[in-house]
Amino acid sequence: MQKKALFSVRSASFLTEAGCLCALMALLLVFPKESAAGVAQGLRLCYTSLIGSLLPFLVLSRLFLLRGLHCRLPPRCTFLTRKLFRLPPCCAGVVAFSMVGGYPVGASMTAQLFTAGEITRKQGQRMLLFCVGPGPAFVVSAVGAGLCGTAKAGAVLYFAVVLGAMLSGVVTRFFFREPIQETRSQSPSAPPFAVCVSEAVRQSADAMLLICAFVALFSALLGVLDALSLPAAVRSGTAALLEVTNACDVYAKKGPLPLLAAIIAWGGVCTHCQLAPSCAALGLPYWRFALGRALHAGLSFLCCRVMLCFIRLPVNVLAQNAAFRPAAKDSGLLSFCMIMMCALLLFGSHLSIRLQKGACFLRTDVLQ
């Protein structure tokens, strides 16, 4: 019975995955022009915005680690890391870079710290729950000045997301009770500066290529969804869940700033896929990472609401907020989609646990 149950669960999972992939391939074949246009739009976004805002920070962050500067910070810089987040002093630089470097920077630096033996696995997993966020170049310049029409709105969004990340770090410290200790061993001196620069550029180029590929892929999927003539609410909710740049383009024109802050903090499934190697290196399940993103999004939403009570924005931004209030269907659909996605992730984790237990039962039967 256990073998039959295990095989039935595996077959259901295989059929679901195969069916989804076949459906996506069929849509790409039916709408080739729309998917090609989506890829072109994604690549245009990469060379006009993403590469310029992310690549320098990726190089500098990796150079920061390769030179061992994170271990030489003065005690005053590591005080907040110890008191707020219960993390070793070597994590202070990673936390700081995660708030200014862009989504992949903090995650990749965390994975490098764990690979080098600077932090434990649990500490790295907890850092991945809040050391992921956008950079000021994207939020203030692209979203604020470019989409909302004022850099002041972008600054409010950026600081709301940063405060949400810090609050997420404070909240998660109570779920990972581990004494603060540094596991770093005696390592040799850092390589020459020229060697470190060459290695930092090489690693950053590989990471940038992966990021651009994911952006192009999800832009193609969004292009196919546009061709299906879906309702505007479904299109907006899907964009918010899948790709952060397209979602900001949609909601900056008609959505309130708190909702836009939540979307930026969530990051989109496209960004989550870019961070998958770092999560895999630390053994962090995706459902737990997604719940951490949802917590960050909710806290950023609240922080932005509070900040707007004390900060005045230009009339055009306030008019967008007022125009959006009667049409609350988009935010309701987005909330419903996020809840359903979290439920699917929890179901997937439960399914994987059942598969692991079934495999253990099969091994014991074979041994007997």
- Band of pLDDT at residue 161, cut at 50, 70 and 90: very high
Lowest mean pLDDT among 40-54, 159-173, 192-206, 320-334: 320-334
Q: What is the mean pLDDT of the chain?
A: 78
Q: Does the pLDDT of residue 237 top 70, yes or no?
A: yes
Q: Does the pLDDT of residue 53 top 50, yes or no?
A: yes
Q: Does the pLDDT of residue 264 top 70, yes or no?
A: yes
Tokens representing residue 356 in the block: 């692991």
Mean pLDDT value of segment 9-31? 80
Per-residue model confidence (pLDDT) at position 65: 79
Q: How many CB atoms lie within 10 A of CB 171?
A: 15
Give, as one character, the DSSP assignment of residue 173. T
Q: How many CB atoms lie within 10 A of CB 208?
A: 18
Does residue 188 or residue 32 have the better pLDDT? 32
Per-residue model confidence (pLDDT) at position 316: 56
Per residue in 239-254, pLDDT (tens digit) is 888 888 878 877 887 7
Q: Does the pLDDT of residue 334 top 80, yes or no?
A: no
Per-residue model confidence (pLDDT) at position 298: 94
CA distances from 326 to 148, 253, 256, 258, 330 (A): 20, 15, 12, 16, 10
Per residue in 95-113, pLDDT (tens digit) is 888 888 788 888 988 998 8
Per residue in 316-326, pLDDT (tens digit) is 554 455 444 43
The pLDDT > 90 percentage for the chain reads 21
Residues whose CB is less than 8 angstroms from the CB of residue 187 and which lie 6 or more positions away in sequence, other chains included: 68, 116
Per-residue model confidence (pLDDT) at position 75: 67
